[in-house]
Amino acid sequence: MKFPHYIFNPFHGMTAHDRLADLLRYRIEKRLPSMIVRVPQSNAPYIYRTMVCAGNLELGLVSLASLAACAKSWPRIEMCVDKSISAVDVQSFYAKHGISVHVWTAQDLLERLDLHGEFLLKRFAETYFWGRKTAFTFGTHETLPILYSDLDVLWFKDPWIELKISDLTTLLAAVDRYYSYDQDYLAMISEEHRELLLNSSPYCAGVYALPPGFRLPEEVLNYIQQSLDTKKPKSYYEVNCSIEQTSLGLATNLVGSGIPWQLFPTCPEAAVLSPKWHHRNRLGAHYATPVRRQLWRDAWAILKNKA
């Protein structure tokens, strides 16, 4: 990132906190090349999964550094790559910053899905990038709990402890601030399930956890099947990820429970001048695109003595 000279332009129209966010992003990214993350020495018996591409390697480093800053023990980190970057390049990038990462390619995932007879999720993975994400978390039949997190997440407390991941018996998903469910999906499903989704809190596919052996409810799998049979994707990387999010929301309503927004906000509203979420009783926050700048302000508060 080049130095953001525009933040000093009084006619730019930016708010004060957006100017500060861009300055702090510049300062963090300037320091990242030499940053070594000191991860906890003890291991936590769970798998931390995420999706990675060439464009979010550094964002992922910031996210994992925030986890290392608050975690008492360290999970197995697993990432699934897209076509923009190789598994070797991902491993090499994080290794030079002190983080060991196990990387899955698309082929690795498809072979595992075949092995376990997850042919519907394999088809979902081959049709949509977001289907690959669903298959990566729900189709590999692990013997350890899985915590999935997007890379635009910061952690302020240890999720292993705060979410009681060792005691999970069913799906646990973050409550969303907005409804972002797929309208075609809602029109396709039964009236009972549609009312269930619309009359309860929405859920976010950016952070969720599941116990070993968890399988999506048959109703959800059937709807995924119907959606694949009827909806033609514009492209594999179709921007709309709401089919995945709607499926997760229905599964959570049917058999799971939510992480309260007050504990883990998605799209947290911006502070006025100084980062605030890490100062409060929060587990972490998910900084989706509308509030992405806030991530850099909160990240600076966590990493200013480390980055």
Q: What is the DSSP string of 241-303?
A: -HHHHHHHHHHHHHH-EEE-TTTS-BSPPP-SSS--GGGSS-SEEE--GGGHHHHHHHHHHHH
Residue 302 has pLDDT above 60, yes or no: yes
Q: What pLDDT, on the 0 to 100 scale, is given for residue 303?
A: 87
Longest dimension (CA), the chain: 60
**What is the pLDDT confidence band of residue 156, given thresholds at 50, 70 and 90?**
very high
User: CA-CA distance, 300 to 154, in Å (whole number)?
Assistant: 11
Q: What is the dihedral of CA 201, 207, 210, 212, to 10 degrees?
A: 170
Place of tokens 């390619």: 105
**What is the pLDDT confidence band of residue 269, given thresholds at 50, 70 and 90?**
low
Q: What pLDDT, on the 0 to 100 scale, is given for residue 179?
A: 83
Q: What pLDDT, on the 0 to 100 scale, is given for residue 91?
A: 98
Are β-strands 43-52 and 146-149 bridged in parallel, bridged antiparallel, or unpaired?
parallel
User: pLDDT, tens digit, for every residue of 10-58?
Assistant: 888 888 888 888 999 999 999 999 999 999 999 999 999 999 999 999 9
Note whether 208 and 165 are within 8 A (CB): no
Q: What pLDDT, on the 0 to 100 scale, is given for residue 271?
A: 47
**What is the pLDDT confidence band of residue 240, given thresholds at 50, 70 and 90?**
low
Element of type H or E holding 62: helix 57-70
Note whether 137 and 210 are within 8 A (CB): yes
Residue 274 has pLDDT above 70, yes or no: no
Sheet holding 172-175, edge to edge: 102-104, 74-81, 43-52, 146-149, 203-210, 172-175, 257-259
User: pLDDT, tens digit, for every residue of 207-239?
Assistant: 999 999 999 999 999 999 999 998 777 777 665
Computed over every residue of the chain, the mean pLDDT equals: 91
**Residue 184 is which amino acid?**
D
Q: What pLDDT, on the 0 to 100 scale, is given for residue 61?
A: 98
Within 10 A of 132 (CB to CB), how many other CB atoms are there? 26
**What is the pLDDT confidence band of residue 307, given thresholds at 50, 70 and 90?**
low
Range 193-196 contact pairs with CB under 8 angstroms and sequence separation of 24 or more: 193/219, 193/223, 193/250, 196/250, 196/253, 196/254
- Residue 37, C-beta contacts closer than 8 angstroms, at least 6 positions apart: 61, 64, 65, 68, 97, 98, 99, 306
Domain 45-303 falls under CATH 3.30.2130.10: no
Considering 9-23, 262-276, 278-292, the range whose residues carry the highest mean pLDDT is: 9-23
Q: What pLDDT, on the 0 to 100 scale, is given for residue 272?
A: 38
Note whether 134 and 197 are within 8 A (CB): no
Q: 74-97 b/e with 16+ CB inside 10 Å = b?
A: bbbbbbbbbeebebeebbebbeeb
Mean pLDDT of 90-99: 98
Cα–Cα–Cα angle for 133, 184, 246, nearest 5°?
Answer: 40
User: CA-CA distance, 178 to 204, in Å (whole number)?
Assistant: 9
Residue 273 has pLDDT above 60, yes or no: no
Structure tokens at 284: 């972490």
Residue 144 has pLDDT above 70, yes or no: yes
The span from the first CA to the last CA of the chain, in angstroms, equals 15
Structure tokens at 27: 């300062």
Note whether 183 and 210 are within 8 A (CB): no
- Of 259, 225, 49, the C-alpha closest to 137 is 49
What is the Cα 273 distance to its own chain's centre? 26
